Amino acid sequence: MEVIVQRDYAQMSKVAAQIVAELLNTKPNAVLGMATGSTPLGLYQELVRLHEKEQLDFSRVTTFNLDEYVGLPGNHPQSYHYFMHEHFFRHVNIPAHNINIPSGTTSNYPAFCEWYEKRITECGGIDLQILGIGTDGHIGFNEPTSSLSSRTRLKTLSKQTIDDNARFFERREDVPVYAITMGVGTILEARQLILVASGKTKAKAIAQAVEGPVTSMVTASALQLHRDAVVIVDEEAAARLTMRDYYEFIYAAKPAAPRS
């Protein structure tokens, strides 16, 4: 796993966007795995800037989102459909039929999950999956004790995740209890993973995921099993990493490392 520590959120977002842009420059028809949450917002803003100012082209890109709340229709302001449209899709030129987001309102969840997995395979698999991390160490909505081989499925949110995400809803009771999420096994099949984390509330989860044991109690620790995973963090999220000097030494010695 490669760990890149950047001084702040803006730099973290730029470095992550640069990795996505490099992939699109070499593979214009790449399949991207998208994440929601507040952390990737800066990364999406930077991709939009590159699209508008530097002609970064998304016209042949296909996307698959990680997850969606169960019970929220696509026009609900807290749905991940709405989030993605608002913060990214409406600003770039990805054809609508190339955008895939799990349905939060299907009448048959098992059939939908199976279809979603099949669709990823039909599109050639995910080239690059963007990830955030929950304070409980989750990726997607793979809460503690999720199987590290899990596939797209319904998942019950942990109390901690409901508490964390309550800030986006009017009342805590409004936070959906279930979500549909790609599994850890699905995520690990992407050819490249980039995980972004910012702020001190993520420091513990990042230390556990990067330097702790591989465990289903911290599903982000499964990134240790992946051959091409990059974790990009700001100073605060890096605060509990014990090997930081080593990560910085590696990054500084890398001639073609993305910088701005």
Which residue out of 46, 68, 117, 136 is catalytically annotated? 136
Phi, psi for 108 (deg, rounded to 5): -140, 90
Active-site pick, 46, 117, 127, 143: 143
Q: Where are the alpha helices (DSSP H) in the chain?
A: 9-26, 41-54, 80-87, 109-122, 159-165, 184-188, 203-211, 244-253
Considering the complex, state which of residue 18 and residue 219 has its C-beta at the smaller distance from ligand GLP.
219
Going from the C-alpha of 248 to that of each of 40, 238, 257, the distances in angstroms are 22, 11, 12
Taking the least distance from each CB to ligand GLP, the nearer of 56 and 146 is: 146
- Structure-token pair, residue 176: 């959906």
The catalytically annotated residue of 67, 68, 234, 235 is 67
Strand-pair category, 178-181 with 67-69: antiparallel
CB of 116 to ligand GLP, least distance (A): 16
Task: Give the burial class of 132: count Cβ atoms within 10 A of its Cβ; 0-12 exposed, 13-18 middle, 19 or more buried.
Answer: buried
Task: Give residues in contact with ligand GLP (CB under 6 A).
Answer: 35-39, 66-67, 132-134, 140-141, 161, 165
Strand arrangement, sheet containing 62-65:
2-6, 229-234, 192-197, 128-131, 31-34, 62-65, 99-100
Shortest CB 13 distance to ligand GLP, Å: 12
16-25: buried (b, 16+ CB within 10 Å) or exposed (e) per residue? Answer: bbbbbbebbe
> Which residues have CB under 8 Å from 235's CB, separation 6+?
5, 6, 7, 8
Cα distance from N-terminal residue to C-terminal residue, the chain: 22
* Catalytic residue chosen out of the listed positions 46, 68, 127, 138: 138
Q: Tell me whether residue 136 is one of the annotated catalytic residues.
A: yes
CA distance 152 to 139: 12
In the bound state with ligand GLP, the residue whose beta carbon lies nearer, of 56 and 126, is 126
Name the residue nearer to ligand GLP (CB basis): 140 or 176.
140
Shortest spacing between CB 180 and ligand GLP, in angstroms: 11
* Shortest distance in whole angstroms from residue 84 CB to ligand GLP: 12
Q: Which is nearer to ligand GLP, 56 or 150 (CB)?
A: 150
What's the min distance (Å) between Cβ of 123 and ligand GLP? Answer: 21
Specify whether 211 is catalytic. no
Active site residues: 67, 136, 138, 143
